[in-house]
A = this chain, B = another copy of it.
């Protein structure tokens, strides 16, 4: 709804050690669909062979018919990408897969790097060639460089990049989860029938009935292989947390738990706080569905004002919707939301949408 939100929020998902890895990833991505509708992709690994299917559109559009059956293997990584203008190309869809001296690697990335341009220049001067315009390719190039002295150049690679990233990385025998030292983007660990699952949000665990174990900590690398799960603190000197508030306000689903707090409850409390801080003299509280539902509920509870769902949302707005000619003014709003006039006529209304953190707005209908 708001064009000022940071764009780079996506959904990442991974499975290690389950015979239905592709299918679980499909449902996982479906539960994360709200984090990105532009493209979807799954890469599986069976007997050291990677199998890829990616496409533009919703998870249910990209994976049809026999597609999932062809994605054999007990390890998988998946990605849903948010729609951004300008670089909406098939080749930018994720997970990215490459061959390098370390073998095959697939990466799914939620976030955006702040020093991408500088790293890219540096790598190109060293002879690297780039085939996409997504940040994540830089991480792969760093990982592919010859190791200098150490076994693992993943840690070295991460220490070069700055910005927000939650990563799920698949090699030929490991599934790796990474969260940046600030913990800007969420990433959680789950278990299902002895298999490990990684997901941007816990709501995906509910769908596949996996058990939520814990969050990946900011700055933590978790490496999952046949020996179990291993944790590396990649940034021992970096204790600061800076979780992105938009995850609670806007990005995440209300049924997810992030940093041990349920998103629904956080939103209701935000609405309560807003009611305390503002002394709007009003007759009723109206949410802008669906992102404003919880905060409006909190506002109503705190203020004692009646709660009316006076906006009706049309659930069939698609990306292919034709733009109207001049004959219909304000069309973009009306096509998504219609106000029930009889509910608000002559009333003083508090309208609550996801912009709540930027200050309360009270409108008179």
Contact = CB atoms under 8 A, between A and B. Distances in A.
A14 to B, nearest CB: 17
Interface in A72-114: 90-91, 96-101, 105
A228 interface: no
Interface residues of A, number: 84
A64 interface: yes
B100 A316 contact: no
Interface string A277-296: 00000000000001001100
Nearest to A316: B33
A115 interface: no
Contact of A209 (B33, B59, B264, B329): B329
A177 B20 CA distance: 49
A342 B127 contact: no
A313 B97 CA distance: 33
Given A34-B316, A309-B293, A312-B203, A130 B255 contact: no
Given A297-B309, A314-B31, A338 B255 contact: yes
A178 B334 CA distance: 28
A120 B318 CA distance: 39
A149 interface: no
Interface stretch (A138-146, A179-187, A230-238): A138-146
A305 to B, nearest CB: 12
A307 interface: yes
Contacts of A338: 31, 203, 206-207, 253, 255
Interface of A: 20, 23-24, 26-27, 30-31, 33-34, 37, 58-61, 63-64, 68, 90-91, 96-101, 105, 120, 124-131, 140-141, 144-146, 203, 206-209, 253-255, 262, 264-265, 290, 293-294, 297, 301, 306-310, 312-318, 320-322, 324-325, 327-329, 331, 334-335, 338-340, 342-343
